[in-house]
Amino acid sequence: MFGTAVLLLAVGCFGGDGDSGSGREPSRKDDPNLLQGFRTWLKANDSKGDDALAGHALNVSLDYRSGERAGVVKVLTDYGPWGEAEDHVGPLAKAFTQWWDGDPAAGSAHFLGQGGKTAKKTTLYDGDKPSNLLADFRSWTADRSPAGKRLAPHVTGLTIGYGAKGSGAVTVSTDYRTHKDDTHKDDTPKDETDKGNGTQKNVDALGTAFADWWDGDEGAETVTVTSEDQGSSARRKLASPRSG
């Protein structure tokens, strides 16, 4: 379903507490939750100090934006404030880049200190064919039906966020605006019964399409599709990860 993007977060049979006694060091692809997977890898690594590094990574997100060739990983840390983050984040950034191991799912990583300021950037993949979940979702949606072809260009962003608790959550951004809504120009409604509901209908349709497209292997439980002005949104549960 995802084409080359399936390389992003292919699920193995690895659990969150280690390698079940196999003696194998966990790899990048063993856990679809980017935060948990990175922390587990750090704790399993024999390098001095890696165990302590794990606690400094608070959140990891994978972000795709319309017009961008490759995704960006954003790693929120507790380093800071400001200048101190740049001084301290280096070992964590080096470890994350090593763990990522050239996966084409993102072109770069941005490491954020307290307050959200970027303290450091690293290159994760600079090859010719990066994976791009946003482009794949738009293409799949456009190919499904005339309605999908109409909806797909309005998707402007796709972010998968992974926090310290639970599975990840997907946010899909659109350029629809609730407060300029009567719609038309082929974006549906404009009669009195539907007036003002065009954006919500489109957001709902994209939420359903995303849930249909998602294959359950990327470690997220929900998707929320939003209008640009946050006036309309649709939330859907996603398929559970497949076993085996």
Cα–Cα distance, 102 to 123 (Å, whole number): 9
Residue 191 pLDDT > 70: no
Cβ atoms of 239 and 216 within 8 Å: the answer is: yes
Q: Region 21-50: what's the mean pLDDT?
A: 76
* Residue 206 pLDDT grade (very low, low, confident, very high; cuts 50, 70, 90): very high
pTM of the model: 0.82
Judge whether 98 and 122 are in contact, CB under 8 Å: no
Span 67-85, average pLDDT? 91
Asked if the model's pLDDT at residue 43 lies above 60, the reply is yes
The CA distances from residue 55 to 42, 76, 79, in Å, are 10, 11, 11
State the pLDDT at residue 96: 96
